Amino acid sequence: MIITATRGLVAAAVLGVSAIAAQAQDFTPENPECIAPANPGGGWDFTCRQVGKSMQDQGLIEKTMQVVNLAGGGGGVAFAEVVNKRADSNDLIVAASSATATRLAQGAYPGNTTDQVRWLASIGADYGVIAVSADSEIETLPQLLDMMKEDPRSVSIAGGSAVGGWDHLKVLIAADAYGIEDVRTVKYVAFDGGGEAVTQLLAGSVQAFTGDASEAKGFVDSGDIKVIAVLSPERLSGDFADFPTAQEQGIDAIGANWRGFYAPGGMSDEAYDAWVSKIADLYASDEWKSIMEANGLAPLDLAGAEFETFVTDSVSEIQDISREIGIIK
CATH (domain of 172): 3.40.190.10
First to last CA, the chain: 20
Query: How many of the other CB atoms lie within 10 Å of CB of 10?
Result: 20
Q: Are residues 135 and 122 in the same domain?
A: no
Give the residue numbers spanning the domain of 157: 128-249
C-alpha triplet 56, 59, 64: angle, nearest 5°: 25
CA–CA dist 179, 275 (Å, integer): 45
CA–CA dist 226, 219 (Å, integer): 8
Give the distance, in angstroms, between the CA of residue 206 and the centroid of all CA atoms in the same chain. 21
What's the total number of domains in the chain?
2
Ranges of H-type helices in the chain: 9-15, 43-57, 76-85, 98-105, 141-150, 166-178, 194-202, 213-221, 269-284, 286-294, 305-325
pTM of the model: 0.77
For residue 294, the model assigns a pLDDT of 87
Q: Are residues 143 and 106 in the same domain?
A: no
Q: Is 4 part of any domain? A: no
Q: Which residue has the higher pLDDT, 156 or 237?
A: 156
Q: Are residues 240 and 284 in the same domain?
A: no
CATH (domain of 70): 3.40.190.150
Structure confidence at residue 10 as a pLDDT band (50, 70, 90): very low
Q: What backbone torsions phi and psi does residue 123 show, to the nearest 5 degrees? A: -125, 10
Q: Which residue has the higher pLDDT, 165 or 226?
A: 226
Q: Are residues 239 and 291 in the same domain?
A: no
- Cα dihedral 170, 171, 177, 180, rounded to 10, equals -150
- Say if residues 257 and 5 touch (Cβ distance below 8 Å): yes
- Averaged confidence pLDDT in the chain: 89
Statement: residue 221 has pLDDT above 50 = yes
